[in-house]
Amino acid sequence: MTAVELRGAAKDFADAKIDATLGVDSGRQLVLLGPSGCGKTTALRMIAGLEIPDRGDVCFDGQSMVGVRPEARNAAMVFQAQALFPFRTVAENVAYGLKIRKVNADERAERTRQALAQVHLDGYGDRWPGDLSGGERQRVALARAIVVEPRVLLLDEPLSSLDPVLRGDLQQLVCEVQRALGITSIFVTHDRDEAHAVADTIAVMMRGKVQQIGPAADVLENPATDDVATFLGRPPS
């Protein structure tokens, strides 16, 4: 398990500046909550190593990850668009990261079977992604992320394209998997109800900065600023 910190991790764009400070304890699930365009995905990409901070630091267990290649960080990402390989079976999609890591065939098969069972897709290994529902494809994407036993699980609006019933089911599954594996997880969403459903800790991000961070119930019940209160749909203080 791994503790993750952003220490003034900054990224400058022509039309926006991101300057994020936050931390999530080892084995906990933090939700990065905020409106579209506030910098949530950029913060997540800095943790993954897909964006390099212009200033500041990204740390795993207190060790700087700046300059460490994405593949060497062992942080797995799940996206809104599942990005499954259409001409590979479900099992081949899940096992792809293990194959890249040169895990032997027998171990790949067993770990793939376990990962599919973890997301309640036992027996789906021989199916094709095109034959699955949206919710099933997202389960495959989650299995593909966890099968490599990452230090950190990063989820970028993973359920926003699903209907409300499926979203509720998948929210429960994400929490179930995260807690069963004891993995440190950062979940990006703009949806307050979703944040409430899955978070141990919530960090509210607005205009490129984390405005408030704390236990989920505290943040949702006691917004620290008028802007946060307005975003959360609560009366300003």
Nearest to 130 by CA among 163, 87, 101, 160: 87
What architecture does CATH give domain 1-74+152-237?
A: 3-Layer(aba) Sandwich (3.40)
Give the pLDDT of residue 237. Answer: 62
Across 157-194, b (16+ Cβ under 10 Å) vs e yields bbbeebeeebbeebbebbbebbeebebbbbbbbbbbeb
Residue 204, CB-side half-sphere exposure with 13 Å CA sphere: 24
**pLDDT digits over 139-193, tens only?**
999 999 999 999 999 999 999 888 888 899 999 999 999 999 999 999 999 999 9
Radius of gyration, CA atoms only, the chain: 18
Name which of 121, 107, 124 is nearest 169 in CA terms: 121
Query: Which pLDDT score is estimated for 16?
Result: 86
Look at residue 236 and tell me whether its pLDDT is greater than 80.
no
pLDDT at 164: 87
Q: Is the predicted pLDDT of residue 92 greater than 80, yes or no?
A: yes
Angle made by CA atoms 75, 197, 201, in degrees to the nearest 5: 55
What's the mean per-residue pLDDT of the chain? 94
Rounded mean pLDDT, 88-92:
97
Q: What is the domain partition of the chain in residue ranges?
A: 1-74+152-237, 84-149
Going by pLDDT thresholds of 50, 70 and 90, the confidence category of residue 83 is: confident
Average pLDDT on 209-225 reads 95
199 with 22: CB under 8 angstroms?
A: no
Q: Which tens digit of pLDDT belongs to each residue from 60-76?
A: 999 999 999 999 999 99
pLDDT at position 23: 95
Q: Which residues neighbour 26 within 8 Å (Cβ) at sequence distance 6 or greater?
A: 1, 2, 3, 61, 184
- Would you say residue 1 has pLDDT above 80? no
pLDDT of residue 233: 87
Q: Mean pLDDT, to the nearest integer, of 29-35?
A: 96
Handedness of CA 83, 86, 87, 93 (dihedral sign): positive
pLDDT of amino acid 234: 80
The token duo for 149 is 């036993």
Determine the Cα angle at 155 with ends 180 and 34, to 5°. Answer: 120
Q: Is the pLDDT of residue 203 over 80?
A: yes
